[in-house]
Structure formats: structure tokens, C-alpha cells
Amino acid sequence: MNKTDIIKNIRDNDHVKVKFALSDIDGILRGKTIHKDKFLEVAQKDIGVCDVVFGWDANDKCYDNSKLTGWHTGYPDARARIDLDTYRTIPWDHSLPFFLADFSSDKGEDLTACPRSLLKRIRKQADGLGYKAIFSQEFEWFNFVGTPNELAESNYNQLTPLTPGMFGYSMLRPTLYSDYFNDLFDMLAKFDVPIEGLHTETGPGVYEAAIRYDEVLAAADKAILFKNGVKEIAYKHGIIASFMAKWNEDLPGCSGHLHQSLWDKETDRNLFLLGTNGDLSETMQSYLAGLLYCLPDILPMYAPTINSYKRLREGAWAPTTMTWGKDNRTTAVRVINGNEESTRLEMRVPGSDSNPYLAMAASLASGLYGIKNKLKLDIKPTVGNAYAQKEAIRLPQNLMDASNNMRKSAIAKELFGEAFVDHFTNTRKWEWREFSKAVTNWELKRYFEII
């Protein structure tokens, strides 16, 4: 439907309310339910949303190091725009109309911290170069029996996985909660978030889903709606879905791999298509070189939490170095050779805790940087185990080091603007400060009695 038809559809349907949501800096959807008359008033204008959504952390604790907003500004309303192109209905919630919003304007007066607006700016750069960026994100996540209240009452450490044991690609385990499994596939498809594949991964109660590919902004929309949609559907079945990168040190972490390719807008041709002898195209080489070159400077956009770095460990199915290889799952970037539709790069650094808008913006901006600067792919492909390559450049191993790298990086500021880098790295430093003052179970067990 075009925008006129969408507005008419909302006006004429029986629903009296509409939901809309936007992404905060952590990739958490924040939103409202409004009367449809209010929606019709603001649909082609803008709507006020308190800018505290970019002034607090994942637990609604206000930053004390944000220049963008805070007690010093009084937390005013920012002007959000509902994107009518994101219209869909929520099949598990009475088919209520739903939209995504962001803080961008036609005049380019975007709110610095808005992740969706940032991705739109990077996408515009690709468009200006004649490229159509095709992306998709796949997620692994753990499922537990219980409710949010039960989870809080147990202090988040007495969890019952949906199924026992390590049983990846099981045809058996999904039958235990088949209604949930089938609802994920079917309801998300009706929500215009089609899943390409859904299966168990190795670990108790863990699933993996690959979302059907799309152009980059729509792909990021689908990824963030997938995460929120899974959690809502899980609630309906008495299940808690966790996209934490590494919830248990003895179990595999949860990835959020990014699949990506560039297509020529004029010819609709995949510019990453390999040669007949498997050689990488020049475009793919420069794009891949950009991904690797920028990676250490923008790592927090892929790995944004304290916990992200618990996943990035050797032998844990997650990369630790600036490496690439053909169909190699131990490297940071995996080259996937297929036909024209399926030839692509897989960025394997992001975990399931990543913000899809920021992770995709990071990848696309890095790849375009490589193309614009005609970077050469000087890093040789990894054959075999990347963890055993001791000469490979290691990625920063914690959020503080990664954030300091990004804050000082001229590359990060060139790609995303100084204002965004300042705000984003301040939020990551806040996260580190909050963690640093916490007394953990590890400390209690290690020091309480014996030290």
C-alpha cells in the first residue's frame, strides 16, 4: 500500500489504537500505544517523544555523562517521525496496527543518538554510489520456562531451559514446545518478518533463526522486530527468551551474524559474485578490506555490552582476530561462495545482543570506506583454525578498551560523525562504570571466605 492507502486503512478499520516504537542506543524498542485519531493527526508530521530514551541505559538509569540530554536540558520532547513504510499488524496482539519511528527529518536534522537515522544516512551514501545493500541478520538465543516476575524473584540464576542437553539441529527437541516453535515461524511471517530457517543450536533450550534478506534498512527493521517479537510470543507461552551474548560460561554464546552483499542498482547484479575460479571480485575485496580495517576502531557497534566480550573467546564459535576465510567459521569474516543470489560476506563478530541498526551501519560504512579508498585486501585468507594464528591482530578484549579505541579513532568519526561517536562511547563508558562497581557472584565465591 502507498502512504495514502495506509492512512485510509487506519482511518477505516475497527481498531481505535495504534502502536509505534523506536530503537534506543542499545537496540531496545521503546514505544507507545496511541489513539488512532492521534495517529491520523501526526502520521505525516511528527510526534513528541521524551528524549530520555537516549538519556538512560538499558535499565532506565539516567546517564551523568551525556551532552545530548540530561537533567541539564530538562529532558524535553524530541520530534519523532512515524515511518509509514513500516506498517504491519501484530498477529499475536489482536492484529493491532504497528509502525516504526525514528528521529530523522527531510532537512537532515537527525537526532545524533538515533540508530535508525544513522543507518539511513549510511544507506544514502551507498545509494549515491550506485549500490543497493542487501543484508540479513541471524540470531541465536536461549529459551527458559518462566515469567519475568519469576525470573526476577530467582535473581536471574535459577533458570530452567526449555529443553535439556546439547542437541543442535534436533528434529526431536522442537516437538516439546511445538506450539511455541510453530508460532515463531508462522506469526513472525504474518508480521512481515519472514524466517528463512529455524532450528535448535547446541545448548539447552537454544534456537537459531535466519531472517530472510532485504535491503539494509528493511533488514535492520526486521531484525529488531524479530528480537522483540520473539520475546512477546515467548511470553504468550510462559517462556523467557534471552538474547544475552553469553549467559553461562560453560555453554556456547549467542551470535548475531550479519550477511551482506552489494548490488548494482542499474543492472541488479551482485557485485560480490566470485569469478569462475573462486576469486573475489574487486568490489568484494575492497569492501572486505574495509570491514577488517575499520573493525578494531568500531568494535562496540558490534559488541556493545560488557557481556559481549565473554562470547568473543577462543574455541567458542566466535572470532577473536582480524581474519577472514572462505567458508571458515573461526574467522571474523566468512566469504560464502554460491550463486548470484547467495554470494555474500558474513560478519561473525556481532552477538545476539547487538543493535541491528548500529551493527549494520558499522558494516556498511566500513565496506564503503574500503571501496572509496580502494583498500587492498592485504590480509591473507585463513585456512583452518584462526584461533591458532598467533600472528593475527587480536580484537580488544573488553568494552572499555574497545570504547577507548573508538573514542580516539579518526576513522570512527569520519564514518559516523564526531557527535555520534562522542555520545555512543560515553554510553559505553557508563556501562563499564556501572559494571565496575558491581559485586559479582564470582567475587563472592572467590573472596568471601578464603581471602
Same domain assignment for residues 234 and 286: yes
Range of the domain at 144: 128-446
Same domain assignment for residues 109 and 169: no
Same domain assignment for residues 177 and 315: yes
Say whether 85 sits in a helix, a strand or coil: strand
Q: Does residue 119 sit within a domain? A: no
Confidence at residue 338, expressed as pLDDT on a 0 to 100 scale: 79
Q: Which of 80, 113, 146 is the last residue of a domain?
A: 113
Same domain assignment for residues 85 and 169: no
CATH number at residue 139: 3.30.590.10
CA distance 19 to 90: 9
Same domain assignment for residues 178 and 259: yes
Q: Does residue 451 sit within a domain? A: no
Same domain assignment for residues 90 and 179: no
10 Å CB burial of residue 440 (0-12, 13-18, 19+) is exposed
Q: Which of 113, 147, 162 is the last residue of a domain?
A: 113
Q: Which of 113, 137, 161 is the last residue of a domain?
A: 113
Specify the pairing of strand 269-270 against strand 160-161: unpaired
Q: Does residue 235 sit within a domain? A: yes
How many structural domains does the chain have? Answer: 2
Confidence at residue 110, expressed as pLDDT on a 0 to 100 scale: 87
End-to-end CA distance of the chain: 67
Neighbours of 249 (CB within 10 A): 10
Confidence at residue 303, expressed as pLDDT on a 0 to 100 scale: 98
Same domain assignment for residues 411 and 324: yes
Confidence at residue 276, expressed as pLDDT on a 0 to 100 scale: 67
Same domain assignment for residues 308 and 419: yes
Same domain assignment for residues 73 and 145: no
- Picking from 220, 188, 190, the residue whose alpha carbon sits closest to that of residue 207 is 188
Q: Cell 495514502 identifies what position? A: 4
Q: How far is CA 443 from CA 114, 181, 200, in A?
A: 37, 38, 33
- Picking from 254, 199, 193, 197, the residue whose alpha carbon sits closest to that of residue 224 is 193
Same domain assignment for residues 40 and 178: no
User: Which residues in the chain show pLDDT less than 50?
Assistant: none
Same domain assignment for residues 146 and 22: no
- Picking from 260, 333, 311, 356, the residue whose alpha carbon sits closest to that of residue 142 is 311
Q: Does residue 298 sit within a domain? A: yes
Q: Does residue 122 sit within a domain? A: no
Q: pLDDT tens, 250-293?
A: 999 999 999 999 999 999 999 999 876 778 999 999 999 999 99
CATH number at residue 11: 3.10.20.70
Q: Does residue 22 sit within a domain? A: yes
CA distance 83 to 81: 6
Same domain assignment for residues 134 and 160: yes
